[in-house]
Amino acid sequence: MGKSLAYKILEQHLVEGDLNPGSEITIKIDQTLTQDSTGTMVYLQLEAMDVDKIETELSVAYIDHNTLQTGFENADDHAFIKSVAKRHGILFSKPGNGICHQLHLENYGKPGKTLLGSDSHTPTGGGLSMIAIGAGGLDVAVAMAKGTYSLIVPKVINIKLTGQLKPWVSAKDIILYVLKQLSVKGGVGKIVEYSGDGVKTLSVTDRATITNMGAELGATTSIFPSDENTKEYLNSQGRPEDYIQLSADPDAVYDEKLEVNLSELEPLAAMPHSPDNVDSVINIGEIKIDQVAIGSCTNSSYSDLMKVSNILKGKKIHPDVSLVISPGSSKIMSKLAENGALANMINAGARIIENACGPCIGMGQAPKSGGVSLRTFNRNFKGRSGTADADVYLVSPETAAISAITGVLTDGRNYGELPHIKDEIFESNDNFIVYPDNMNKNEIPVEMGPNIKPFPLNKPLPENVEGKVVLKTGDNITTDDIMPSNAKLLPYRSNIPFLSKYCFIGIDENFSERCSENNGGVIIGGENYGQGSSREHAALVPLHLGIKFILAKSFARIHRSNLINSGIIPLVFKNTPDYDSIRLLDELVIENAVKQINNGTVSIYNKTKNETYISEPNLSELELAMILAGGKINLLKK
Count how many Cα atoms sit within 13 Å of the Cα of residue 47 in the half-sphere of its side chain.
22
At residue 427, the pLDDT reads 83
At residue 589, the pLDDT reads 98
- Chain center to CA of 550: 22
**Which tens digit of pLDDT belongs to each residue from 158-209?**
999 999 999 999 999 999 999 999 999 999 999 999 999 999 999 999 999 9
> Residue 58 pairs with which residues in a beta bridge?
31
At residue 570, the pLDDT reads 98
**Which tens digit of pLDDT belongs to each residue from 236-295?**
999 999 999 999 999 999 999 999 999 999 999 999 999 999 999 999 999 999 999 999
Strand 114-117 with 256-261, pairing? unpaired
Mean pLDDT calculated for residue range 61-76: 91
Per-residue confidence at 379, pLDDT binned at 50, 70, 90?
Answer: very high
Q: Is the pLDDT of residue 349 over 80?
A: yes
Per-residue confidence at 362, pLDDT binned at 50, 70, 90?
Answer: confident
Is there a contact between 589 and 465 (Cβ–Cβ < 8 Å)?
yes
At residue 443, the pLDDT reads 82
Q: Is the pLDDT of residue 52 over 90?
A: no
Per-residue confidence at 533, pLDDT binned at 50, 70, 90?
Answer: confident
**Which tens digit of pLDDT belongs to each residue from 151-171?**
999 999 999 999 999 999 999
For all residues of the chain together, what is the average pLDDT?
95
Per-residue confidence at 106, pLDDT binned at 50, 70, 90?
Answer: very high
pTM score > 0.85 for this model?
yes
**Which tens digit of pLDDT belongs to each residue from 140-149?**
999 999 999 9
Mean pLDDT calculated for residue range 62-79: 91
At residue 313, the pLDDT reads 96
For the chain, give every domain's residue range.
268-413, 465-637
At residue 437, the pLDDT reads 82
**Which amino acid would we find at residue 115?**
L
**Domain 268-413 identical in fold to domain 465-637:** no
Q: Is the pLDDT of residue 115 over 90?
A: yes
Mean pLDDT calculated for residue range 42-56: 92
At residue 420, the pLDDT reads 80
Q: Is the pLDDT of residue 316 over 90?
A: yes
Cα 242 from Cα 235, distance rounded (Å): 9
Q: Fold for domain 268-413?
A: Aconitase; domain 3 (3.30.499)
- Class level of CATH domain 465-637: alpha beta
At residue 429, the pLDDT reads 85
At residue 425, the pLDDT reads 84
Q: Is the pLDDT of residue 539 over 90?
A: yes
Cα 84 from Cα 600, distance rounded (Å): 40
Residue 162 makes CB contacts below 8 A (sequence gap 6+) with 196, 197, 198, 259, 260, 261, 262, 263
